[in-house]
Amino acid sequence: LFSFAGKNIICMVGAGISTSAGIPDFRSPGTGLYDNLQKYDLPYPEAIFDIGYFKEHPEPFFALARELYPGQFKPTICHYFIRLLKDKGLLKRCYTQNIDTLEPHGTFYTSHCISASCRQQYPTSLDERSGVMYSKCEKCNSLVKPDIVFFGESLPARFFSSVQSDFPACDLLIIMGTSLKVQPFASLISKVPSSTPRLLINKEKAACLAWVVAMDFDSEKAYRDVAYLATCDDGCRKLAELLGWKEELEEMVKHEYAKIDSSSATGAASSQQRQPKGKTEAKADTTKPRKNNLAIAE
C-alpha cells in the first residue's frame, strides 16, 4: 500500500478509533451506546441524535453532551497516527463521523440557535459547578445545540465541495473504526479512483450497504482492498512500524500525553484555588480522562 509516493491520503474514521480512550462506540452488543440508553426512555436509541426528537425532548442529548464535554479524554494512538500523516504532508483530509473532539477542530466547540431566522452563534459552554450547557438562545429563546449534524439535518456545503475535490485525487484511502452503515459517509468509499488502494482497519469487515460499491477482500478478483482485523491502535502501530515511523509515533504520543497531564494538573490546581473559603464541596475532576463514562463517538 505504501510502495509509492502517496501524497493524497484520505482517512475515513468512526467510533472505533476512540474506544481505547474510554469512549464506547455505538453498535457493539452490550457495550455500545445504543445498548445503554434505557434511562432516557427513548422511543428508539437513535432518537437521542434525531433533530425532530431533540426539538421536543432536548434533555437526553444535553445529559449525554455533559459527559462528552471536551477535555475528559486523551486522543488515541490512532489519532496521533493521523496527525503524523498530516505532519508529513501526506494527509489530504480526514473525514470523521465522530463528535468526541479528539480530532482537531471538532464541531462540538461551537453552537447555534436552531431557529432558521436567528442562527445566533455561541461557544459551547459548560458551567463547572452545575454542569449546565447552553440550551436556550438569548435572542429568541429557541434551543441551542452544538454544531454536530443530527439525523434529519443536512450536512454543510463544505462537505460536498470537499468530497468533489478530494476523492478523485486520492491515492490511498484508509478506513478505520467504522461499520460503514451511515449514509452518505459509507458511500464515500466508492468515490476514489478504481486503482486507489483501500485499507480497512477494524475489528470486523465492514458490512457495506447494498447500493454502495462494496469492498472486495476475498474474491479471486480482489486487487486493491485490504482488511487488517484488529483494534485501530494496533493497526496504526503496525503501519507505523512498516513505514519506519514506530519510534516517531511513540515519541509523539509520549510528548503529547505529558503536555495533557501537565495542563490537567494546572487546571485542577487552579480550580481548587477558586473554591470559596469555608466550603468543602466535593467536586469531580473533569480535566482528566475517565473510563466507562456514557460518552459517544461516531
Catalytic machinery residues: 105
141 is in an annotated binding site: no
For residue 232, give the amino acid letter: C
135 is in an annotated binding site: no
118 is in an annotated binding site: yes
Whole-number Å distance between alpha carbons of 171 and 159: 19
227 is in an annotated binding site: no
15 is in an annotated binding site: yes
Q: What cell was used for 298?
A: 461516531
140 is in an annotated binding site: yes
Contacts 24+ apart (CB under 8 A), 128-132: 128/271, 128/283, 128/286, 129/283, 131/66
Q: What cell was used for 200?
A: 480497512
38 is in an annotated binding site: no
Gap between the terminal Cα atoms of the chain: 26
Cross-strand pairs, 61: none
293 is in an annotated binding site: no
**How many residues are there in the chain?**
298
Q: Give the largest Cα separation in the chain, rounded.
A: 74
How big is the CA angle at 201 (ends 198 and 203), to the nearest 5 degrees?
140
98 is in an annotated binding site: yes
236 is in an annotated binding site: no
Q: Is the dihedral of CA 274, 286, 236, 81 positive or negative?
A: negative
171 is in an annotated binding site: no
Nearest to 1 by CA among 230, 201, 246, 251: 201
Whole-number Å distance between alpha carbons of 48 and 41: 10
94 is in an annotated binding site: no
17 is in an annotated binding site: yes
3-state secondary structure of 39: helix
18 is in an annotated binding site: yes
Dump the DSSP string for 193-241. Answer: -TTS-EEEEESS-----TTS----SSSTT--SEEEEES-HHHHHHHHHH
254 is in an annotated binding site: no
Binding residues for Zn(2+): 113, 118, 137, 140
Annotated binding-site ranges: 15-19, 25-27, 97-100, 113, 118, 137, 140, 178-179, 202-204, 232
Q: Which residues are annotated as a binding site for NAD(+)?
A: 15-19, 25-27, 97-100, 178-179, 202-204, 232
